[in-house]
Structure 1
Amino acid sequence: MNYDALVSSGLGLSLAGSEIRFDKITHLASRLLGAPVSLLTVIDDPSDRQLFKSAVGLPDKLREPRSTPLSHSFCKHVRDSGSLLHLVDAREHPLHMHNPAIDAFGIISYLGVPFHGERGKPQGALCCIDHRPREWTEQEVKLLKQLASIADDQFYLDIAVRDRARAKLLAEKAALTRESFLSHANHEVRTPLSAIFGAARLLKATSVDDKTKSLVEAIERNTSRLQALTEDLVRIAEMDTATAAITVESFDLVEVIEDVLARNRDAAHAKGIALTSNCRTIDNMIFLFDVAILTNVVDQLVSNAIQFTDVGEVRVTLGTTPKVEAVTIRVSDTGVGMGPDLQARLFDEFEGYDPRTAREGGGTGLGMSIIKREIELLGGTISVSGDRGAGTHFTICLPTARSVVDSELMEDEEESDHRHITCLECGEKLNILRRHISQMHDMTPEAYRAKWGLPQDFELSSPAYRSLRGAVKDRE
């Protein structure tokens, strides 16, 4: 192993300078054993050098090169044998008495134990050196072995940190590559799909042949499935690279759920099933979520429940946890249900209720995975329960429900003109500013704050702004 290989493998980390963590070990060894010199060495056979990973008490002639030829090394014997080397007086030892380091560096007494590398094999030694004959005690030997063990552990930790950093870099690169590929593929696929879909509609409108209409419907159905798949893939890629857009808005949660139910009521009626809700108003609570994402999640869960329910009902229930620290949204149905094995992998990519029924329903196998990740982006969790033939229950728990400021503060705010936030671009007073500046002024919140010199934590919804002002007032 040459010097470059040592550096790339981690064994040569900071050989040209002092590695603080390893220097602490050699300093401890020198102090605890009362030795003038302590070294942590790595043997580099290809370059015929002994490298000092850490050193205390080096002679001036060795401080700059931080290495010696292997001909001057006692540590090579430790590495080769994988065991302790204990020399009271090297000048009298038949195997080491001719070592040039005795005369060159005044090494008389030596105690060394193996230092292990990445694969657990000895790569060098942790040693203590004295310039006079010395009988190393059993306690000193034990201390040096313990310090060598700490050096091994520190080295393994350095390797783990290095490997983790490399793995993280590779994962981020892979995610960016996937996101870039899927974005380009989505653009290239959607254009011809739109053309096919439009042509199919025109053909359907002008055709009177039932067989032709049936074929056109098959084209429309499968084109829609492909469009849904490309959208799902791009959404997953966005979440992989942390570019998914998450906003914080205040809204009426009951109203959001009722709107979702209204959109799905015709589909439920067509199948002859009931679509009901139990969404009581939660007093003294406002909700600061991304309303678009939450709406989409609930809509998909309700739509799926209707799709897999033939008899009975689909029900949405809104509630809170016992200590009112979170809001729960429960979507239940009396449909086909699923067993524990499928529940365990339901939120994995390319999984569905059942391969056959999922295909009949036009699913991509990505929907539940996306739902889970979107709920996690909102800071919440989603779980599933039920049994085969006994219906399914999805429960969303969002811990970002926040208490409204007390009534006294609310009255104070209503007397002032802070119920809405004024858009600095056009002067319009709004309850939610974020969406307005995006749709009307094509600006991101970051760009808006930067342009008008607003703090980065400036909330872009008036209820949140009132809460912020209330907290500041309380501190005053």
Structure 2
Amino acid sequence: MNGRIDGRLLPTPVDRDAPVRAHRLPTLGERAGGSFAGFDAFADKVAEMIDVPFSMVNFIDANRQFFAGLHTPTGTHTGSYLGVAAAGSGRGGRYVALDHGYCPHVVARRKALALEDVCDYPRFAGNPVVDDIGIRSYLGAPLIDPAGIVLGAVCAVDTVPRPWGQAGLDTIKSLAQELIGHIHRREDNGSIAL
């Protein structure tokens, strides 16, 4: 994935877990019976706790992002509100390209990311979600499983600048830990449905 600024491409950090994750994510989907029920409810919880109009539980493979959990202001849980294409997903438009949004940066960096105003950061200001959806602030944390593999990210976004501060970072990290705990326990039981 690359960002654009002044016609130049800016590289994204190298995602060292991509090959392992590419093999692991389909297995998670099979264990869930192709259903990710419960992730929407978790995205709703994130939106409520952080008080944002949008939140996502985002799994990232080698080619695209999948919003397993999605909260929108209308509560429809569909990506159509975000202007993302269905790409044959059968999940209401929950797949999006790697260059849309900031979760791939969180995954590659393996660290939380707080952007109080994305327009203050040239690397992030040119992202398509700024113009397409009106995203102005982002708060995300990686979902790192017990084996140390980053599966994706949980994030909160807003259409206005937000001073996330340390409290915001602590909250999103705590939510990511809570979710990875749910996933790990469910995997042990043969399913990741929440």
Task: Give the TM bin, normalised by the shorter chain.
Answer: 0.7 to 0.9
CA distance in 2, matches of 1:18, 1:8: 12
1:104 aligns with 2:132: yes
Query: Per-residue deviation at 1:38?
Result: 0.7
Q: Which residue of 1 is the match for residue 59 of structure 2?
A: 42
Q: TM-score, normalised by structure 1?
A: 0.31
The CA deviation string for residues 98-148 of structure 1, in whole angstroms up to 9 with x for no partner, is: 111111122110000111246322121110000111111322221211111
CA distance in 2, matches of 1:76, 1:12: 23
Q: Which has the larger radius of gyration?
A: 1
CA distance in 1, matches of 2:31, 2:43: 16
Give the share of equivalent positions with the same residue, in percent. 26
CA distance in 2, matches of 1:43, 1:8: 11
Any idea what SS the aligned residue of 2:111 has? coil
Q: Which amino acid aligns with 1:10?
A: L
Query: Per-residue deviation at 1:5?
Result: 4.3
- The alignment's C-alpha RMSD in Å is 2.7
The CA deviation string for residues 260-291 of structure 1, in whole angstroms up to 9 with x for no partner, is: xxxxxxxxxxxxxxxxxxxxxxxxxxxxxxxx
> What are the residue-to-residue correspondences of 1:187-202 with 2, within 5 Å?
none
CA distance in 2, matches of 1:97, 1:29: 24
User: Alpha carbons of 1:90 and 1:113: their partners in 2 closer, same or farther (altered >3 Å)?
Assistant: same
CA distance in 2, matches of 1:160, 1:85: 29
Q: Which residue of 2 is the match for residue 126 of structure 1?
A: 154
Q: TM-score, normalised by structure 2?
A: 0.72
Q: Which amino acid aligns with 1:126?
A: V
1:54 aligns with 2:69: yes
Any idea what SS the aligned residue of 1:146 has? helix
Q: Which residue of 2 is the match for residue 23 of structure 1?
A: 40
Q: Which amino acid aligns with 1:111?
A: L
1:10 aligns with 2:28: yes
Any idea what SS the aligned residue of 1:35 has? coil
Q: Which amino acid aligns with 2:37?
A: E
CA distance in 2, matches of 1:64, 1:110: 23
Q: Which amino acid aligns with 1:142?
A: D
CA distance in 1, matches of 2:29, 2:113: 22
Q: Which amino acid aligns with 2:181?
A: D
Q: Which runs of 4+ in 1 moved over 3 A?
A: 1-8, 11-18
> What are the residue-to-residue correspondences of 1:73-112 with 2, within 5 Å?
73-112=101-140
Greater fraction strand: 2
Any idea what SS the aligned residue of 1:96 has? helix
Query: Per-residue deviation at 1:8?
Result: 3.7
Q: Which residue of 1 is the match for residue 16 of structure 2?
A: none
CA distance in 1, matches of 2:117, 2:105: 16
Any idea what SS the aligned residue of 1:102 has? helix
Query: Per-residue deviation at 1:6?
Result: 4.9
> What are the residue-to-residue correspondences of 1:9-408 with 2, within 5 Å?
9-10=27-28, 17-20=35-38, 22-45=39-62, 48-57=63-72, 58-60=79-81, 61-62=83-84, 64-117=92-145, 119-162=147-190
CA distance in 1, matches of 2:127, 2:20: 23
Q: Which amino acid aligns with 2:170?
A: K
| Higher relative contact order, structure no. (Cα contacts within 8 Å, ≥ 6 residues apart) | 2
CA distance in 2, matches of 1:141, 1:12: 32
User: Alpha carbons of 1:13 and 1:115: their partners in 2 closer, same or farther (altered >3 Å)?
Assistant: farther
Query: Per-residue deviation at 1:14?
Result: 5.4
Is the contact between residue 15 and residue 52 of structure 1 (CA under 8 Å) also seen in structure 2? Answer: no
Greater fraction helix: 1
Any idea what SS the aligned residue of 1:52 has? strand
Is the contact between residue 3 and residue 12 of structure 1 (CA under 8 Å) also seen in structure 2? Answer: no
Is the contact between residue 90 and residue 110 of structure 1 (CA under 8 Å) also seen in structure 2? Answer: yes
Any idea what SS the aligned residue of 2:170 has? helix
Any idea what SS the aligned residue of 1:27 has? helix
CA distance in 2, matches of 1:106, 1:12: 34
Is the contact between residue 16 and residue 66 of structure 1 (CA under 8 Å) also seen in structure 2? Answer: no
Is the contact between residue 106 and residue 112 of structure 2 (CA under 8 Å) also seen in structure 1? Answer: yes
Any idea what SS the aligned residue of 2:119 has? helix
The CA deviation string for residues 376-414 of structure 1, in whole angstroms up to 9 with x for no partner, is: xxxxxxxxxxxxxxxxxxxxxxxxxxxxxxxxxxxxxxx
Any idea what SS the aligned residue of 2:189 has? helix
User: Alpha carbons of 1:101 and 1:76: their partners in 2 closer, same or farther (altered >3 Å)?
Assistant: same
User: Alpha carbons of 1:10 and 1:76: their partners in 2 closer, same or farther (altered >3 Å)?
Assistant: same
Is the contact between residue 37 and residue 130 of structure 1 (CA under 8 Å) also seen in structure 2? Answer: yes
